[in-house]
Amino acid sequence: MELNGADIVVRCLAEEGVEHVFGYPGGSVLYIYDAIFKQDKFKHILVRHEQAAVHAADAYSRSSDKVGVALVTSGPGVTNAVTGIATAYMDSVPMVIISGQAPTHAIGEDAFQECDTVGITRPCVKHNYLVRDVKDLAETLRRAFYLARSGRPGPVLVDIPKDITVATCKFTPKRGPVQLRSYMPVLKGHQGQIKKAVQLLAGADRPMIYVGGGVVLGDASAELRQLVELAGAPCTTTLMGLGAFPARDPKFVGMPGMHGTYEANMAMQHCDVLVAVGARFDDRVIGNPRNFAQQPRKIIHIDIDPSSISKRVRADVPIVGHVKDVLQEFNGFLAQAQAADAKRPDLSKWWQQIESWRDRKCLDYANSDEVIKPQFVIQKLSEITGGNAFVTSDVGQHQMWAAQYYGFNEPRRWINSGGLGTMGVGLPYAMGVQMANPGHDVAVITGEASIQMNIQELSTCHQYRLTPKIVCLNNRFLGMVRQWQQIDYGSRYSESYMDSLPDFVKVAEAYGHVGLRIERPADVEPALREAFSKHKERLVFLDFITDRTENVWPMVKAGRGLTEMLLGSEDL
């Protein structure tokens, strides 16, 4: 059949099983929007800023294991989207971004709303395409979805000139696997390496399992839990891996790194065999690599991306492959090894050491009857939602408190920007999550600074009747900036005080939502219960006026090692 390029785009999205597209129209994509108007296979969500479109598609993917899709126009449309694209790229989120472009004959002539989209996005996408012939459009989109979801996932951008969307050609849907000669990701781990790793782990006196976001993205939570049970080892999960292993399990020692627990960091430093699964030893996790290398240990590193292995820390046993497949084989060999050898190492002394580190109770804080402590709000949120809500977060102190105190027991329930650390993601993330998971409780943990970066999306939520509960920990500061300025800059709070804040209750009401201002600790729980029960079908903005002096502890200062933790203000 003969179709124009815009109709081909719509047909291809439908063929890929797309149910929601997040976008914002503009001149170069109007033919695509006209084709969307005439179809009923998927729903388009009109955001109020292109950055929010990409963030929403990002969270849609993170919370559902589907490929998120965003549609933006050329020029400022796509440049507005770059922050969202880079955010997804840093966290390996599978997405397809379709951008409009000036007509092919005008490319390179500084045409209206023209920009070099391929050049601009090249550093922050897994791959990108500029379509110059309508005959290539369908296959390009098919390849884009394949690349986005396979191997190490990531965003793929398809730039489509306006004349391509109106040009016509014969269209026959292709099905079956995509074949790319230059792209063959390894899925199965090397069996010899897996057996070598099993032998190391089976003989370890102080084993440790270190888990990253790759386990969540690879849907390998069940296999991970089996590995921890077989090994009898403590498990730590990074910020991106929270929920891959249950927080309620006694083998969970918390998050490692800059704001990780004392027991997790000490165990990471003093184990004799470390199994890293879908993690990349980034700077916020291990601190200074030279400090990390001071203690001898054998490192087993499992990852889908060979470039992540031995990038910052040398691996003794590298295993490249899909974590789910590798762990299935790993667990089978480990169970066999344990059955064949009755003399398993006694881990009781190792666990005694870990319990002694736990006794430091590094996450304890001084609660108050006079001023709201942000940690207390998160604990009450976890209690009221049963720890089962989808929680999106912006970036800053509130993000770390959420990671420390909510207690995630299932994967894909914790949605935040880890690698890029993008403020403003929380509300558009919640939109994507709720579109992908209708009927579930969704909470946005944010601060008074982050929420203002995409606060216009309250309008989107009203249009589509989205009902997240916004938990704003309002300390009237750029909290994490203030904390660093206190610790490293002699308490010189340069441009970190938000001295002209809006009345968030009135802002929420102006957009048609419910606003609540909470100033007393005694009102925290009642307000949260009101939001999740009485106003269950409404978006509620809860403005918690919190202690502006509270810091996130523990803390490893930049450039320091894991064992050089500050446990509180007394260590300053």
Q: Which residues are catalytic?
A: 50, 112-113, 162, 480
| Residue 411 and residue 243 in contact, taking contact as beta carbons nearer than 8 Å | yes
Which residues of 102-241 form beta strands (DSSP E)? 127-130, 155-161, 168-170, 207-211, 235-237
Spatial strand order of the sheet with 127-130 comes to: 43-46, 20-23, 68-72, 95-101, 155-161, 127-130
- Alpha-carbon gap, residue 34 to 50, rounded angstroms: 19
- Alpha-carbon gap, residue 43 to 540, rounded angstroms: 25
Which of 185, 120, 111 minimizes the C-alpha distance to 147? 185
H helical segments located in 474-522: 479-488, 504-510
| Residue 43 and residue 84 in contact, taking contact as beta carbons nearer than 8 Å | no
Which tokens in the block code for residue 6?
A: 């815009």
- Specify the residue for token string 């000139």: 161
Angle at 365 between CA 359 and CA 368, to 5 degrees: 145
Q: What is the dihedral of CA 393, 394, 397, 398, to 10 degrees?
A: -40
Q: How many beta carbons lie within 10 A of that of residue 332, not counting itself? A: 14
- Alpha-carbon gap, residue 400 to 144, rounded angstroms: 34
Maximum distance among all alpha carbons in the chain?
Answer: 74
One-letter identity of residue 115: C
Q: Which residues pair with 469 in a beta bridge?
A: 443, 540
H helical segments located in 218-343: 221-231, 262-270, 283-286, 289-292, 323-340
